[in-house]
Amino acid sequence: MSDQPQLFKVTIDNITIEVAPGTSILEAARKIGGDVAPPAMCFYSKLKGSGGKCRTCLVEVSKGSEKDPRPMPKLVASCRTTVMDGMEVKNITSERVVDARAGVVEFLLLNHPLDCPVCDQAGECHLQDLSYDHGKAGTRYEFQRRTFKKHDLGEYIQLHMTRCILCYRCVFTAEQLTDKRSHGVLDRGDHAEIATYIEKSLDNDFIGNVIDVCPVGALTDKTFRFKNRVWFLKPVDAHCSCSKCSGKVTLWYRGDEVFRVTARKDQWGEVEDWICNECRFEKKKTSDWTIEGPRVIDRASVISQGHYVGVQKPKETFEAVLDGRKPRLFMDIHSVSGVNRPDINLSLIEGPAHSDDFDRVTKKD
Ligand code: SF4
Ligand code: SF4
Ligand code: FES
């Protein structure tokens, strides 16, 4: 008998490939790549047990297998369903899938704030991409959205629970990478939230990785918050010899200043090598690193649209443009996240808004 393991043939959106038994439909689709790969907001190939939470990866199995060709009656989560030999799957070629995904996006956005203009994740946010690809312009939700206070989770990380989609990735990261997990999902259903037990800070050596795995702007790097838009930065691969981690990182430059340090991510937005807190938060000088060269951002991202020449900081024109006037064009809405509050009548605000304006136009009962 041949030593070669038997491979299963699976056809996804009319493209047939062979994969090892035990491969999930999502991983098989990623081997084909492009639009055939379903979006995944909670599955993370490097985190054991991840997936099965968000339902964005739903697909239609139109033929179960060669032995049992019956279609599966319901759409299935592709990250949690393994392939069978002869299976046929429809992703973007299925109207049911496209319709269901639009519904999932609508649910994910039910309580989500309109924070994109001030959110650090904008430009590299998987929920933004998902909403553009599958979302609808309006919402049918008429109730007040959930709001939360911002929480400081230790020295380096801030939690904006209003933006969290409860994907559990950060919980798995803390569980599998650090010595002691001190946060998790508290409560259930509409009350579920990411929280630390009695506001305990997260100060483990590898805890900074929760920022990278978070698909939205719920967990942010306090050393980078509000400092720059990500598409103005130039990503550069660099390494150092670190005794705790691989030391392989991406530095994000503006001019010759390192604004943030992140792990390197692959084309699916997943971390290639976990990095320690020291590399991420404390090595912010070029002299701390050996530069390898520009980072290619694989995902269809606004960051890839920047065509940088050299690493010189562009001349600041802000003061000259304002010519002594106050910067009224800035919207200070991040402290409120309140543009979603149903008691605010936005149409009463003329021109650019400041958070104080919201109190002025609050509807009175
Ligand atoms: S996480 Fe931030 S960037 Fe992403 S959709 Fe929400 S507000 Fe916008
Ligand atoms: S904070 Fe981020 S990573 Fe954690 S559950 Fe919420 S969305 Fe997921
Ligand atoms: S990626 Fe499959 S359920 Fe979230």
56: alpha, beta or left? (left if phi > 0; alpha if psi -120 to 50): alpha
- Please name every residue paired with 219 in a beta bridge, in sequence order, or none if there are none: 159
Among the atoms of ligand 1, which is closest to the Cα of residue 217? 1
Give the closest residue to 87 by CA, choosing from 61, 113, 54, 108: 61
Q: What's the first-to-final CA gap in the chain, in angstroms?
A: 79
Q: Which segment of 134-138, 226-230, 242-246, 305-309 scores lowest on mean pLDDT? A: 305-309
Which ligand ends up closest to the CA of 38?
Answer: 3
pLDDT of residue 331: 46
Which ligand ends up closest to the CA of 125?
Answer: 1
Helices in the chain by DSSP H: which ranges?
Answer: 25-32, 95-108, 126-134, 169-177, 209-213, 277, 318-322, 355-360
Name the residue of 27, 46, 59, 79 to mutate for ligand 3: max ligand atoms within 8 A of Cβ.
79
Which ligand ends up closest to the CA of 192?
Answer: 2
Q: Could you tell me the distance, in angstroms and rounded to a whole number, from the CA of residue 194 to the centre of ligand 2?
A: 7
The pTM (predicted TM-score) of the whole model is: 0.80
**CA 148, CA 163: separation in Å to the nearest integer?**
9
Name the residue of 41, 54, 106, 112 to mutate for ligand 1: max ligand atoms within 8 A of Cβ.
112
Q: Which segment of 18-22, 149-153, 290-294 scores lowest on mean pLDDT? A: 149-153
Q: In Å, how far from its chain's centre is CA 175?
A: 19
E strands in 277-354: 290-294
Among the atoms of ligand 1, which is closest to the Cα of residue 126? 4
Among the atoms of ligand 3, which is closest to the Cα of residue 78? 2
**CA 294, CA 271: separation in Å to the nearest integer?**
17
Sorted by sequence, the CB contacts under 8 Å of residue 116 that are 6+ apart come out as: 122, 125, 128
The answer to whether the beta carbons of residues 228 and 119 sit under 8 Å apart is no
232: alpha, beta or left? (left if phi > 0; alpha if psi -120 to 50): alpha
Is residue 334's pLDDT more than 50?
no
The model's pLDDT over 287-326, given as tens digits with 9 standing for 90+, comes to 999 999 888 876 567 776 665 555 555 677 777 777 776 6
pLDDT of residue 222: 93
**CA 144, CA 343: separation in Å to the nearest integer?**
9
Domains and CATH numbers, the chain: 8-108 (3.10.20.740), 115-138+146-226 (3.30.70.20), 327-364 (no CATH)
Q: Could you tell me the distance, in angstroms and rounded to a whole number, from the CA of residue 115 to the centre of ligand 1?
A: 6
Pairing of strands 234-239, 290-294: antiparallel
Among the atoms of ligand 3, which is closest to the Cα of residue 79? 2
pLDDT of residue 138: 79
Pairing of strands 157-159, 76-77: unpaired
